[in-house]
Amino acid sequence: MRINPDARIIVKENECGALIVTGHEKIRSGYGNGDCLLLNLKDSFFALSDSTERYSRASRDILERLGEEVAREGVPGRKEEWLELVNRVFAVQKFQHKATFSLAAVRRNAAGASLCIINGGDSTVSVVNRSTGRVEYRTEPNMNFAGRSKGISGVKELTLKGKGYRLVMASDGLSDVARFFGKDMSDMMGSFLTREQVHHIPGKLREMIRSADVKGIAGNYDDIGIIVVDPAILASSRDPQIVMGGTNPVEEHVYQKKMRDSGSNDEWISLKDLPERTSYVNMCGIRVKA
């Protein structure tokens, strides 16, 4: 696993990639970045949350609580156990701290992989067939926002045969990226998000957004958070859990000022070098927990 703190990118070669980008209006108005991502490769689950500008840390709060619950109680074995755990995490979210919540737990098997998917709010979890570009499954928006609802009612289990599928978890900001280029989300899923190698996607997506900014075709866009995973290739590892995003206004100001004053040095940090760079990684809104 490698981290590019300035670009807010996390990748593991051939297995997964993740990116967050702060929206234009959020930067201009001095808000935090409400999109937050959790990657836990050791236990093979991923989560995404998108909170409002009123309390952007709400997304990080719920994902960190999820990670702590799994560390304390162990990794659920069945979809019903995952739903029970998620609803415990959901139930204690403060009413003012509204946030979406999406989880995908991966279990590899001889045929390929199975996915346990839980989704609340208007972020999405999709499964795309890489051969055809077809979106085989996509969650529907609902009103089960953390901080508004005390739980999520549904859990879905999917069996994927073979290695030809890609899992995509995204905040609603990704639809803005599709709009830049005259596409809808299905087009975006079936082309760019399936044809590239999974660990190249975050960097290429970031460059697409920056190019749209430079050309003046981006306009205003929301915070963007995305996780892409090749489930059947995902291997068990000792990699630490990483939470990225969910920054408050002060944290986001420090990060954005550094980007304006010094620019991005496009430095990649490996896990073995992380102890020496922990404070810098934290400054970029990334938390690593062994």
User: 159-201 pLDDT, tens per residue?
Assistant: 999 889 999 999 998 988 888 888 887 888 878 888 889 999 9
Is the model's pLDDT at 66 over the cut of 80? yes
Cβ–Cβ under 8 Å, residues 54 and 261: no
Q: Is this structure's pTM higher than 0.85?
A: yes
Task: For tokens 């490996």, name the residue.
Answer: 270
Is the model's pLDDT at 263 over the cut of 80? no
Q: CA dihedral defined by 189, 194, 199, 201, rounded to 10 degrees?
A: -40
Please compute Rg for the chain using Cα positions.
17
Closest by CA position to 113, among listed 234, 279, 6, 201: 234
* Domains parsed from the chain with CATH numbers: 2-289 (3.60.40.10)
Q: Taking each helix axis from N to C terminus, what angle separates 58-73 and 79-91, rounded to the nearest 10 degrees?
A: 130
Cβ–Cβ under 8 Å, residues 20 and 278: no
Please name the amino acid found at residue 153: S
CA distance 8 to 4: 6
Listed in order, strand segments (DSSP E) in the chain are: 2-4, 9-12, 16-21, 35-40, 45-50, 101-108, 112-120, 124-129, 135-138, 156-161, 165-170, 224-229, 241-245, 269-270, 286-289
CA distance 182 to 266: 29
**Model confidence over 214-252: pLDDT tens digits?**
888 887 889 999 999 999 999 878 899 999 999 999 999
Closest by CA position to 252, among listed 99, 56, 42, 45: 56
CA distance 208 to 176: 12
H or E stretch covering 78: none
Is the model's pLDDT at 50 over the cut of 80? yes
Counting every residue written for the chain, the total comes to 290
